């Protein structure tokens, strides 16, 4: 159910005067944008609290077989809107979202040549801005190819930045680099920057039918970047037909990096729910699954003697899940096609045929009997046409079995037998098709190795979560190049800004001597619990094996912690150092806090002023034990309970690679 | 004058047994190397204090038109040496260097095919190890092309790393990236790593006639790297003729990153002085020059009205230098060929023809009359053949004028009109020719944009210093993408390990409103002084204009600080955070300390136990003022003097972007 509050003032001016500079600012006036069309060349600049953030930066396009669309433009119309509204999420980090912005829309027309028309809209919020281009219907621009988007970001300072490289083999699955922005070659977004008392993140919203934007340093070793759209295999950046709108180019701005995580800019810039009432199948929750035992070498995706996906093993998971507050059980390797080195060949997966030894009908029935659901799995090995040919049937199959959630994978360095990038318009189109097909059959989507998040979950609320990060799997897999202890307190400041992350926390057994002697999960157990709060996902995995959870009182936190929130507050943190989040359960008055550190120990004084003023809470604290250390002693934890008045301060003592998880139950 | 102390025990074993594993360890037994020839495939591994540092890593070559040279090898001879000697530097960070190592040399021979022979020598010191290959004279390997060096570095942990990317346009002139080693694509050396209580730096020594080594992540996102030799334009990595030896591949190892800076490994692995007595012209010292006024837009390299190089201006510098302890004055733009955009065209420089308005004979005479020297300048604009055609004449010209020092430049993204990398065998050969020619005419070399340092200064003591770093010039130049405050406390831990750095500190005026409104030098003035101690160079510039030094009592520190040391101790630091160095003047009993911070303020308790025990010193302290801050108030400094007993502790209070410089005069 959604409540809309509208307050809209529209001032539409049709002006034939030669106005060349247009100002638009955030409701609180801290962010000011100047759009300049001097000498026919559009550009923009941004300041925050009087300090420059983006210096004059070009706008425009290179359309194939046409003159550059960035010169000789004059302003045809200027429209302004003042929006103060609020909307309600279907699920998410918070229930109510304020959508307050000031908008400037310009229609620009070329003064000569093809006299093409280009729209340019800026929306300025208190937490950042978005701008996009619009190609209205017109005679000289109908079906066309975008060879280059000329949008620039001329950073005002040589900010410190955190980023992952684009155009590499492992998609978004890199640990983050920290450097002066001048040292970046080409980076994926979100790109997070900090300096001069300002934190900035550049990304995009509503990537619906376009290539994803990467940012390229246009003058190596300097600090002016240009949108670099990930191309199709044939070099085309975008196939477009007017009328069309590009995604929003977003610049989130705040006083600190941690404050960026409280921004709703991306969701606000996406279209409202197109699916209507999805409450019959869209349910945030927790899941377990036959998966980590494959990564740690105990079982295999392939059929045969070490086959992970068996009816018996699935029932063990279901039995454990049914005794706990776990809503779904995933089974990877359940279907035919996993034989041998499946990632090296043309895909052979069949999406409606279970492998021998796995009775999917029985397992799904058993799960439902126990009050939960089997979670489907579609690994495509990056073979898109192979998958699309079966896709409709595959989702219908799940619907028939009562499966309402699917985890998907696109393992491979390029799509379609090495041809297409994971981040071009090709993948954007494919993935939207997946999400729409899943919705048609009442299935939630959790996608790995897919295109980055740009907030489309608002429009398609069955699009729950995705990986697009170097996940927990790297800590278990072979070779033994796991994530550093700082990774989990870094990516929420970068990747995390884009949306939910299926990182899969919850590992309680930290080494795998037999098959993975050199592997380690680089946290303490208490920090694993903290990740359920510091990393947001509406589908949150309990990644470890049932037998590894047995006898651990700490599992109660995983039982208790919800996956859907009415409020979320990033309380404190520094990129790659530590992070503290407080979130309120959407379905009770309980609050949860997660605090996580990198490899350094640290204390954090948690002021509980987010709790209901005057109320009393029972607080359960899961903390690192005195001798806890991610390297030598990760399983040392202590659970304490006490009564607390809202507003009291708790000292959280995090050990190296450690953290703390807290549950506040209102009395 | 050099003193040699020899203690050598040689154990040469000719063994035809099938020994397959060979151990060699450091004198203190902390570093242990295992060389393994099991199944004919050579590999090595390294541990430090029992912890793995390098796991089993392949060795070998791919020679053009031959089978890979890494299989079917058996051990022909095993030689061992135990060396305990000491040698004296001509100039440098310290007078005496201990050269203590254990050596293992193996002769390997293929069991079939061409029966090629390959030598493999490991030298293990307390501060690291070096290993190199040798191609002895043999029938089936005479003149050959190396297509690939197969040396691998399989890091034991996913260490935190600091690095700059290879194969980019700006040579070594990048601010450093910090990331998990797994996020590296391809990096220049020195590559500095830290983790698990160990600090490591991978580099090379004695790059005499070979391509420089970069390190490429061979399985993207993992932690095994392979030597990637920078190729010639035609793809050849190395032209070789047996007998030949490769450079040493070096792995420095210590408990902390700061301790890496006390290592002499690179010099120890270079050949002794080949030039003999160079005392007539090789003199460490300080210089000023007509240079910073060009970078900050006050003057021009090109001839004409804003021409920086004029007789009058040079004499102003000489007058100032003569009143201070400055040994040389550089004049950039002194010669013909600087008209217009010289870096975009075929070079037009003439190296023995002064530009109109600059009377080089008069200036050189005037300098010598005042007791100092004019410093020559050779900018090549990366045009090697253009330069080499004039090189002999150019150095003879300087010799005739009494010029004993030259600063060189190779500005350009590639050498020879865009063809060759700056880091391939082509440049290595050229630069050695430069150094040898300079020696022939009694000239010291300070080279910018040249090949990285690998310790050749030991062999050629006229090879004084070089840039190979993103220098001070980036803070002054246009565009305004300067260095971050952490840069100067980061590169000494990486680039600095390779040898002297001509960073050119000493700026006393921090903004350039008129021509460079957005530029800043991101330090306090006190930190500028500290850099004379924290950054080592035997030729140390006082980079600012004479008029900017006028009236500053702080200039006394630049007057006093020497450029040649009898001892150097890296006392404390963290990569990119802070750095404290103590150095003892080679020609007196005085000590100097530099302490520098990044953008954060911090206090450092300096324990003066490096001073002569029981002695009393007069200490002069140049510190940040109470309100000093690199951004707003860099020129706030205080000078205090006091008497101090050796061993006392001084609290150094560094402000944001600040530092402290201390001079201890023995009483």
Cβ–Cβ gap B484/A222 under 8 Å: no
pLDDT digits (tens, 9 = 90+) for B379-435: 999 999 999 999 999 999 999 999 999 999 999 999 999 999 999 999 999 999 999
Residues of B in contact with A470 (CB under 8 A): 221
A599: closest chain B residue by CA: B195
pLDDT digits (tens, 9 = 90+) for B584-629: 999 999 999 999 999 999 999 999 999 999 999 999 999 999 999 9
Range A462-477 average pLDDT: 96
Q: How far apart are CA A483 and CA A325, in angstroms?
A: 29
Which of B180, B196, B222 has its CB closest to that of A479? B222
Please work out, in degrees rounded to the nearest 5, the angle formed at the alpha carbon of residue B255 by the alpha carbons of B254 and B257: 70
Whether the Cβ atoms of residue A127 and residue A265 lie closer than 8 Å to each other:
yes
Quote the percentage of chain A above a pLDDT of 90: 95
H/E segment holding residue A439: helix A425-440
CA distance B484 to chain A (A): 7
Residues of B in contact with A220 (CB under 8 A): 168-170
pLDDT digits (tens, 9 = 90+) for B151-194: 999 999 999 999 999 999 999 999 999 999 999 999 999 999 99
Which of B170, B175, B221 has its CB closest to that of A170? B221
Residues of A in contact with B576 (CB under 8 A): none
Which of B158, B164, B221 has its CB closest to that of A484? B158
Range list of β-strands (E), A160-212: 160-163, 177-180, 186-187, 191-195, 198-205
pLDDT digits (tens, 9 = 90+) for B206-239: 999 999 999 999 999 999 999 999 999 999 999 9
Which of A180, A196, A220 has its CB closest to that of B175? A180
pLDDT digits (tens, 9 = 90+) for B353-370: 999 999 999 999 999 999
* Chain A residue set in contact with B, beta carbons under 8 Å: 156, 158, 160, 164-165, 168-170, 173-180, 182-183, 185, 195-196, 219-224, 470, 479, 481-484, 487, 518, 631
Q: Which of the 8 DSSP states describes residue B183?
A: G
* Confidence bin at A18 (pLDDT 50/70/90): low
Q: How far apart are CA A260 and CA A501, in angstroms?
A: 16
Residue from B221, B482, B494, B574 whose CB has the most chain A CBs within 10 Å, to mutate: B221
Cβ–Cβ gap A222/B481 under 8 Å: yes
Range B535-545 average pLDDT: 98
The SS3 assignment for B601 reads coil
The per-residue pLDDT for B506 is 98
Return the closest-CA partner of residue B488 out of B450, B526, B457, B441: B526
The SS3 assignment for A380 reads coil
The per-residue pLDDT for A512 is 83
Q: How far apart are CA A7 and CA A96, in angstroms?
A: 16
The values of phi and psi at residue A54, to 5°, are -120, 120
CATH 3.20.20.70 fits B473-499+514-535+555-667, yes or no: yes
pLDDT digits (tens, 9 = 90+) for A478-518: 888 999 999 999 999 999 999 999 999 999 999 888 889 99
CA distance B631 to chain A (A): 9
pLDDT digits (tens, 9 = 90+) for B434-457: 999 999 999 999 999 999 999 999
B196: closest chain A residue by CA: A631
Q: Which of the 8 DSSP states describes residue A355?
A: P
Q: How far apart are CA A267 and CA A272, in angstroms?
A: 9
Which of A182, A224, A481 has its CB closest to that of B182? A481
Q: Where are the domains of chain B?
A: 2-268, 473-499+514-535+555-667
Topology (CATH level 3) of domain A2-268: Beta-galactosidase; Chain A, domain 5 (2.70.98)
Quote the percentage of chain A above a pLDDT of 70: 97
Cβ–Cβ gap A484/B160 under 8 Å: yes
The per-residue pLDDT for B299 is 96
Range B575-587 average pLDDT: 98
pLDDT digits (tens, 9 = 90+) for A322-335: 999 999 999 999 99
The per-residue pLDDT for B413 is 92
Residue from B153, B158, B166 whose CB has the most chain A CBs within 10 Å, to mutate: B158
Range list of β-strands (E), A586-632: 591-597, 602-607, 616-624
* Confidence bin at A38 (pLDDT 50/70/90): confident
Residue from A55, A161, A174, A485 whose CB has the most chain B CBs within 10 Å, to mutate: A174
Cβ–Cβ gap A487/B180 under 8 Å: yes
Q: How far apart are CA B610 and CA B623, in angstroms?
A: 20
Residue from A57, A158, A598 whose CB has the most chain B CBs within 10 Å, to mutate: A158
CA distance B174 to chain A (A): 6
B645-664: string of b/e by CB count within 10 Å (b at 16+)?
A: ebeeebebbbbbbbbbbbbb
CA distance B383 to chain A (A): 21
CA A331 to chain centre: 23
Left (φ > 0), alpha (ψ -120 to 50) or beta: where does B315 sit?
alpha
The values of phi and psi at residue A292, to 5°, are -65, -30
Range A98-109 average pLDDT: 98
Give the C-alpha distances (Å, rounded to integers) separating A246 from A36, A139, A431, A643, B395. Answer: 20, 19, 17, 52, 61
Cβ–Cβ gap A484/B178 under 8 Å: no
The per-residue pLDDT for B512 is 82
pLDDT digits (tens, 9 = 90+) for B125-154: 999 999 999 999 999 999 999 999 999 999
The per-residue pLDDT for A19 is 58
Q: How far apart are CA A573 and CA A570, in angstroms?
A: 8
Of B473, B547, B574, B648, the catalytic one is B473
pTM: 0.96
* Confidence bin at B6 (pLDDT 50/70/90): very low
**B281 cis-preceded (ω within 30 degrees of 0):** no
Cβ–Cβ gap A221/B182 under 8 Å: no
* Confidence bin at A477 (pLDDT 50/70/90): confident
Sign of the CA dihedral running B154, B159, B162, B164: positive
The per-residue pLDDT for B7 is 41
Six-digit token pair at B535? 């950054």
Which of B168, B223, B470 has its CB closest to that of A481? B223
CA distance A340 to chain B (A): 21
Return the closest-CA partner of residue A268 out of A92, A423, A135: A92
Cβ–Cβ gap B221/A160 under 8 Å: no
* Confidence bin at B478 (pLDDT 50/70/90): confident
- Catalytic, B312? Answer no
CA distance B160 to chain A (A): 8
* Confidence bin at A208 (pLDDT 50/70/90): very high
The per-residue pLDDT for B19 is 58
Residues of A in contact with B171 (CB under 8 A): none
- pLDDT above 50 (res A151): yes
What integer best gives the mean pLDDT of chain B? 96
- pLDDT above 90 (res B103): yes
- pLDDT above 60 (res A3): no
Largest CA distance in chain A: 78
Residue from B155, B174, B186 whose CB has the most chain A CBs within 10 Å, to mutate: B174
CA distance A664 to chain B (A): 36
* Confidence bin at B17 (pLDDT 50/70/90): very low
* Bridge partner list, B84: B100
The per-residue pLDDT for B18 is 53
| Domains B2-268 and B473-499+514-535+555-667 fall in the same CATH topology | no
pLDDT digits (tens, 9 = 90+) for A277-293: 999 999 999 999 999 99
pLDDT digits (tens, 9 = 90+) for B479-492: 889 999 999 999 99
Cβ–Cβ gap A165/B174 under 8 Å: no
Residues of A in contact with B195 (CB under 8 A): 484
Which of A169, A177, A483 has its CB closest to that of B220? A169
Q: How far apart are CA B512 and CA B510, in angstroms?
A: 7
């Amino acid at each position: 159910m959604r409540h809309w509050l509208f307050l809209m003032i529209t001032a539409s001016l049709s002006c034939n005067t030669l106005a060349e500079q247009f100002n638009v600012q955030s409701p609180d006036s801290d962010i000011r944008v100047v759009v300049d069309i001097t000498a026919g060349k559009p550009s923009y600049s941004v300041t925050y609290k009087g300090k420059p953030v983006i210096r004059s930066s070009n706008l425009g396009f290179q359309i194939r077989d046409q003159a550059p669309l960035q010169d000789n433009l004059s302003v045809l119309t200027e429209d302004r809107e003042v929006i103060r509204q609020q909307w309600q999420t279907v699920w998410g980090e918070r229930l109510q979202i304020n959508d307050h912005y000031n908008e400037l829309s310009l229609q620009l027309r070329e003064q000569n040549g093809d006299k093409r028309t280009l729209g340019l809209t800026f929306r300025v919020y208190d937490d950042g801005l978005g701008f996009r281009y619009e190609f209205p219907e017109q005679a000289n621009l109908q079906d066309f190819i975008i060879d280059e988007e000329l949008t620039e970001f001329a950073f005002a300072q040589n900010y410190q930045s955190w980023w992952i490289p684009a155009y590499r083999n492992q998609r978004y699955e890199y640990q983050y680099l920290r450097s002066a922005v001048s040292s970046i070659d080409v980076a994926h977004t979100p790109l997070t920057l900090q300096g001069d008392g300002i934190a900035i993140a550049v990304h995009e919203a509503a990537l619906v039918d376009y290539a994803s934007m990467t940012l390229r340093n246009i003058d190596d070793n300097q600090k002016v970047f240009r949108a670099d759209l990930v191309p199709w295999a044939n070099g085309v950046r975008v196939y477009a037909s007017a009328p069309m709108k590009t995604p929003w180019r977003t610049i989130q701005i705040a006083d600190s990096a941690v404050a960026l995580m409280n921004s709703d800019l991306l969701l606000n810039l996406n279209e409202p729910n197109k699916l209507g009432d999805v409450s019959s199948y869209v349910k945030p929750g927790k899941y377990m699954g036959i998966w980590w035992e494959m990564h740690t070498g105990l079982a295999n995706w392939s059929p045969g003697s070490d086959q992970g996906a068996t009816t018996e093993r699935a029932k063990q998971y279901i039995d454990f899940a049914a005794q706990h507050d776990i809503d779904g059980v995933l089974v990877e390797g359940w279907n035919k096609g996993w034989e041998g080195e499946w990632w090296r060949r043309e895909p052979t997966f069949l999406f409606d045929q279970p492998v021998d030894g796995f009775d999917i009908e029985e397992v799904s029935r058993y799960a439902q009997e126990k009050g939960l659901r089997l979670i489907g799995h579609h690994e495509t090995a990056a073979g898109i046409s192979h998958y699309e040919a079966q896709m409709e049937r595959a989702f219908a199959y799940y619907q028939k079995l009562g499966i309402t959630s699917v985890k998907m994978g696109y393992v491979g360095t390029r799509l379609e037998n090495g041809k297409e990038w994971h981040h071009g318009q090709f993948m954007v189109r494919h993935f939207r098709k997946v999400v729409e097909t899943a919705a048609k059959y009442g299935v939630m989507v959790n996608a790995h190795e897919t295109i980055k998040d740009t907030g489309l979950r608002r429009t398609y609320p069955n699009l729950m979560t995705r990986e697009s990060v170097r996940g927990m799997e790297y800590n278990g897999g072979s070779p033994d190049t796991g994530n550093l202890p700082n990774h989990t307190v870094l990516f929420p400041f970068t990747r995390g800004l884009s949306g939910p992350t299926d990182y899969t926390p919850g590992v309680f057994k930290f080494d795998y001597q037999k098959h993975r002697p050199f592997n380690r999960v680089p946290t303490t157990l208490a920090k694993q619990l903290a990740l359920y709060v510091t990393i947001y996902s509406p589908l949150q995995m309990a990644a470890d094996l049932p037998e590894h959870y047995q006898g651990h009182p700490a599992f109660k936190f995983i039982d208790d912690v919800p996956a859907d929130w009415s409020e979320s507050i990033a309380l404190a943190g520094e990129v790659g150092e530590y992070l503290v989040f407080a979130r309120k359960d959407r379905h009770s008055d309980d609050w949860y806090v997660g605090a996580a550190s990198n490899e350094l120990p640290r204390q954090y004084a948690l002021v509980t002023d987010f709790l209901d003023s005057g109320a009393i809470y029972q607080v359960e604290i899961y903390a690192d034990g005195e001798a806890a250390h991610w390297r030598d002693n990760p399983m040392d934890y202590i659970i304490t309970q006490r009564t607390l008045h809202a507003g009291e301060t708790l000292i959280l003592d995090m050990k190296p690679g450690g953290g703390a998880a807290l549950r506040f139950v209102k009395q």
